[in-house]
Amino acid sequence: MINMIYAKSNPVETLKEHTDKVLENYEIIKDIYKDKIDLIGVGKDFWEIFKDACFYHDFGKVYTPFQNEIRKKIDHCQVNTKFKNDIPHGYISPAFMDSQEIIAKYGYSGYKILVQAIVFHHERDFQINDSYDYSEFCKILTEDLTGNLDLINNELNACIKKINCKYFNLTKQEARIKENNSEYKKYIMVKGLLQRIDHSASANVCAEIKSQKNISDAVQEYIKEKLKSDLRDLQLFCLNNREKNIIITASTGIGKTESALLWIGDNKAFFTLPLRVSINAIYKRLVDNIKYEDVGLLHSTSYDFLLNEGDENYLGKYEISRQLSYPLNVSTIDQLFTFPFKYRGYEKILATLSYSKIIIDEIQAYSPNIIAVILRGIVMLNNMGAKFLVMTATLPQIVKEYLEEKNVVVEYKTYCSQELRHKLCIKESEIIENLEYIVEKAKNNKILIIVNTISRAKEIYNRVKMSISRENIDFEVNLLHSLFIQKDRFEKEKRIKNYNKNGIWITTQIAEASLDIDFDILFTELSTVDSLFQRMGRCYRKRRYEKEEPNVYVYCKNSSGIGSIYDKDIYERSNDELQQFDNKFISEEEKMAIVRKIYSRNFLENTKYLEEFDKSLNFLESIFDYDLDKDKAQKSLRDFV
């Protein structure tokens, strides 16, 4: 006979202790975000259904074979039973709910949501219709559970009178609530948030951290008191349009980051960027400059970064970030935008983003496959009631075309610097052929070299080092790319951001996005125009250029990475468009116009880029709900990259 119901073995925790933690997290979410979640349109009974899901979700752990597994691990005596531990506890938990009572309270649709949220709060490779029929299922549950009703009633202050098996058909895969069902939105929120707070309770982390002040107030204070500046036009626009979906196309160095943070207001938010180096820079800016501590960091090496930063609480910060608990989170796309694959368990991410604001920075930097994932995700989020802001220096026209096709209401805004910052020299030669000239220029300038591949960056670095050693020239030559070990890479990222003397930095596209660096002259291999214009933003970032000689040299012969990193068709069309600017200034408006032209559907016709974009969208829009598990979804996303 069982005399104590355990929920976990490591650490040892009773069912009551775990359930109490889950209910505490329920109250935390309700206290902080009830008003935001209600705006999604989840219905008046949402919070009651959600609370019932929290209360009942683990009752199935009283099943004797499950208890025996825990008791074995903690060296307690096991209980004799003829049954095996081959039914996931989530499938058993609804047996303790009175179906007639629940249906009377919430209707049949509410009962269905509650049952499926509990049954699938842990997704398993298990389908009940392949394992049991109704009579067998009822026999197992009734025989095993009935004797423990008094125990579970006493431990959890419940009032369960009998075991109910009538939910059996609702556990079948064909009965699962899908995106086209009327119950979908409420189900996503109940099941997704149940997963969130269950995971948080297991990790001993609060499901939501309540900030002492919202990020918008912190940014305004920073701008006015630290920068001694008034809000710029773009910043005021974002501050005054916080309830709208916005897509901003703005010149580099015009204050997009602060504008996006002002748009957040008092909402939970996720700030995504394409590169880890950019995310680390934004994180540091928030913590060190803006003095906003309630920010999470989400990317594949965030643990190493927090450790290297010397934060005493790096372990706690890492775990809280993993549980999505901070009011503001900076993240790579791959940590969040797996949900468009609708894998088993995707509701956790979608539910959390649905009452949050989502910022997508530098969307043009992604491959056509990833842009497709982002756009499909935006449509799903928009349908759930979430708000998004897309920021970019150059907006691919296919982004606007797709969102218009899907009837997503967006406010578009363009802000261009009127200062001429870049005069081009288009070279019909390889960058390696011009290293002597580059070295000569570095004697009196800060030089940035950006190439398309790591192997080319290493080759140039070695040749430049040999050249200055042979000629006994005294200035620094530095190399930065993504394959350095984390410790060295973090140190190099710090150095390039604070570099302020003559010399050379050689890097790859890792330097393109959101790094606040400003060099005197840029020497670069030709890439596609969206990438190239981002590179230009690292040279004369906020300064007007008034000299006669060019400050941007673009090398068009034998560029590395074409066909592998950069689409060959887009590259060639970029080359064609740039020829007219040889030995001329190029304005910010002209840059934006070129990107709009090249990345419009008509101009992309018959390119591999458009083929991959459409193929990815078709794949995402035809996915069957719950067809993939999480590992396969993440693999699909990696394959897209």
CA 590 to chain centroid, in Å, comes to 31
- DSSP letters along 231-270, please? PPHHHHHHHHTTTS-EEEEE-TTS-HHHHHHHHHTTSEEE
Residue 300 phi, psi dihedral angles, 5° rounding? -65, -20
Q: How many CB atoms neighbour CB 323 within 10 A?
A: 23
Amino acid at 355: Y
Amino acid at 581: F
Give 54-102 pLDDT, tens digit per residue.
Answer: 999 999 999 999 999 999 998 778 888 999 998 999 999 999 999 999 9
Strand 295-298 relative to strand 12-14, pairing: unpaired
The reported pLDDT for the residue numbered 598 is 94
The reported pLDDT for the residue numbered 514 is 58
CA dist 262 and 218 (Å) reads: 9
Torsional sign, CA 410, 414, 415, 421: positive
* pLDDT-above-70 percentage for the chain: 98
Query: Which of 110-114, 190-194, 465-469 comes out lowest in average pLDDT?
Result: 465-469
Which pLDDT band holds residue 394 (cuts at 50, 70, 90)?
Answer: confident
The reported pLDDT for the residue numbered 375 is 97
Residue 296 phi, psi dihedral angles, 5° rounding? -95, 160
Answer yes or no: are the C-beta atoms of 215 and 292 closer than 8 Å: yes
CA dist 514 and 505 (Å) reads: 17
Look at residue 490 and tell me whether its pLDDT is greater than 90. Answer: no
The reported pLDDT for the residue numbered 582 is 97
Contacts of 116 (CB under 8 A, 6+ apart): 170, 171, 175, 176, 177, 187, 191
Helical axes 276-284 vs 486-497, angle rounded to 10°: 60
pTM > 0.85: yes
Give 283-339 pLDDT, tens digit per residue.
Answer: 999 999 999 999 999 998 899 889 888 878 899 999 999 999 999 999 999 999 999
Give 356-381 pLDDT, tens digit per residue.
Answer: 999 999 898 898 999 999 999 999 99
Q: What is the DSSP letter of 224?
A: I
Which pLDDT band holds residue 1 (cuts at 50, 70, 90)?
Answer: low
Note every long-range contact of 74-83, with CB atoms under 8 Å and residues 24 or more positions apart, other chains counting.
74/6, 74/9, 74/12, 79/1, 79/2, 81/144, 83/140, 83/143, 83/144
For the record, the structure tokens of 534 come out as 């981002």
Helix (H) or strand (E) holding 149: helix 149-156
Q: How many CB atoms neighbour CB 266 within 10 A?
A: 15
Amino acid at 489: R
The reported pLDDT for the residue numbered 332 is 93
Look at residue 2 and tell me whether its pLDDT is greater than 70. Answer: no
Torsional sign, CA 218, 219, 221, 225: positive
The reported pLDDT for the residue numbered 318 is 93
Look at residue 4 and tell me whether its pLDDT is greater than 70. Answer: yes
Give me Rg for the CA atoms of the chain: 28
**Cis-peptide into 550, omega within 30 deg:** no
Q: Output the average pLDDT for the chain.
A: 93
Look at residue 459 and tell me whether its pLDDT is greater than 60. Answer: yes
Give 595-611 pLDDT, tens digit per residue.
Answer: 999 999 999 999 999 99
Look at residue 110 and tell me whether its pLDDT is greater than 70. Answer: yes
Mean pLDDT for 176-190 is 96
Mean pLDDT for 465-471 is 87
Contacts of 575 (CB under 8 A, 6+ apart): 526, 556
CA dist 370 → 333, 551, 610 (Å): 9, 32, 12
N- to C-terminal Cα separation, the chain: 54
Q: Give helix then strand counts, H and E, for the chain.
A: 27, 15
CA dist 463 and 597 (Å) reads: 38
Answer yes or no: are the C-beta atoms of 628 and 346 closer than 8 Å: no
Secondary structure (3-state) at 583: coil
Answer yes or no: are the C-beta atoms of 491 and 522 closer than 8 Å: no
Give 241-269 pLDDT, tens digit per residue.
Answer: 999 999 999 887 788 899 999 999 999 99
Q: How many CB atoms neighbour CB 146 within 10 A?
A: 12
Nearest alpha carbon to residue 382 among 417, 357, 419, 348: 357
Mean pLDDT for 185-208 is 97
* pLDDT-above-90 percentage for the chain: 78
Contacts of 302 (CB under 8 A, 6+ apart): 318, 321
Give 434-454 pLDDT, tens digit per residue.
Answer: 999 999 999 999 999 999 999
Contacts of 461 (CB under 8 A, 6+ apart): 477, 479, 506
Query: Which of 80-84, 489-493, 524-528 comes out lowest in average pLDDT?
Result: 489-493
Mean pLDDT for 2-30 is 93
Answer yes or no: are the C-beta atoms of 312 and 296 closer than 8 Å: no
Look at residue 581 and tell me whether its pLDDT is greater than 60. Answer: yes
Answer yes or no: are the C-beta atoms of 580 and 378 closer than 8 Å: no
Instruction: Kindly provide the b/e burial profile for residues 554-565, where b requires at least 16 CB atoms within 10 angstroms of the residue's own CB.
Output: bbbeebbbbeeb
